[in-house]
Amino acid sequence: MDTLRIGGELEVHRLGYGAMRLCGPRVTGWPEDREGALRVLRRAVELGVDFVDTADAYGPEVNELQVAEALWPYDGVVVATKGGLVRTGEPGEWPKDGRPEHLRAACEASLRRLRLDVIPLYQLHRPDPAVPFAESVGALRDLRDEGKIRFVGLSNVDVAQLEEARGIVEIASVQNEYNLGNRESEPVLELCEREGIAFLPWYPLDAGELARAGGPVEEVARAHGATHAQVALAWLLARSPVTLPIPGTSSVAHLEENMAARELRLTAAELAALA
């Protein structure tokens, strides 16, 4: 299955694009080649990408502005963004802020930057241990009920948090780290598959020990004339019908390489070797 329906309604192809890498160094500020970043976004859409993931913390704010400049009015493209992290001005620091008042202000600011009346998918970037999780999720429910967002998503959550959130509002997606080398979120993915929730693996290209010289990733890649990254993406696409990997890059060439993974079909024996 090449597509899935987020929230049962938003049909998108199952290989999206994560725009974070279009910012400056350490996801801070503008990139040196501003026009080059816009070219990457536009080329992604030309290649059939119709799901783009961003966040207010990327830049901060820069990434959402880039997405709007390159792709607005988003004809056929679903834009997802996130709130709940803030930037202090110190590169590498990502403090959490899950207070309902912050999430409301963050959502409204994202609406303005993205030039949207409704955000198709708005995700809580990470639970804030200083704020009751139910309050953060409840804020997103209220924003949905007010028509500011269409669907609610979560990011960086465990099974218990996902179940708690589902008792508050319908959850359309979960974005967790998951790849060949890190499968700690396997239970979350399994729950998403049972419930028809889209699962967005971030950091999708890491293959860990499987990518060692002479290892299974290298053997599979050689058999198909593919790159390690393409094998990692093909594995994610084969892993479950609800996976929607969002590889990011600031290079058109690398983008085109990633998108070619859609054509790579791994055999049952190859999938077993990568298990």
pLDDT computed for residue 147 by the predictor: 98
pLDDT computed for residue 89 by the predictor: 72
Domain boundary assignment for the chain: 3-208+239-264
Task: Give the whole-angstrom CA distance, residue 66 versus residue 41.
Answer: 9
Q: Count Cα neighbours of 7 within 13 Å in the Cβ-side half-sphere.
A: 19
Selecting from 3.20.20.140, 3.30.70.1520, 3.40.50.300, 3.20.20.100, what CATH number does the domain 3-208+239-264 have? Answer: 3.20.20.100
Question: Two tokens at 259?
Answer: 């998108």
Q: 């299955």: which residue's tokens?
A: 1
- Percentage of the chain beyond pLDDT 90 is 96
Question: Two tokens at 263?
Answer: 């054509």
CA angle, corner 224, sides to 223 and 227, nearest 5?
105
Largest CA distance in the chain: 54
Q: What is the pLDDT of residues 188-201, one digit of tens each?
A: 999 999 999 999 99
Backbone angles phi, psi at 169, to 5 degrees: -155, 155
58 is catalytic: yes
Terminal Cα-to-Cα distance of the chain (whole angstroms)? 21
Q: Could you write out the three-class secondary structure of 155-192?
A: ECCCHHHHHHHHCCCCEEEEEEECCCCCCCCHHHHHHH
Task: Give the whole-angstrom CA distance, residue 227 versus residue 78.
Answer: 28
State if pTM tops 0.95: yes
The pairing of strands 10-13 and 3-6 is antiparallel
Active-site position among 17, 58, 122, 178: 58
pLDDT at 170 over 80: yes
Q: Which residues contact 98 (CB under 8 A, 6 or more apart)?
A: 84, 124, 126, 127, 128, 130, 131, 133, 135, 136
The per-residue pLDDT of the chain, averaged, comes to: 97
Q: What is the pLDDT of residues 28-84, one digit of tens each?
A: 999 999 999 999 999 999 999 999 999 999 999 999 999 999 999 999 999 999 999
Q: What is the pLDDT of residues 234-257, one digit of tens each?
A: 999 999 999 999 999 999 999 999
Q: How confident is the model at residue 23 (pLDDT cuts 50, 70, 90)?
A: very high
- Do residues 185 and 178 lie in contact, with contact meaning Cβ atoms separated by under 8 Å? yes
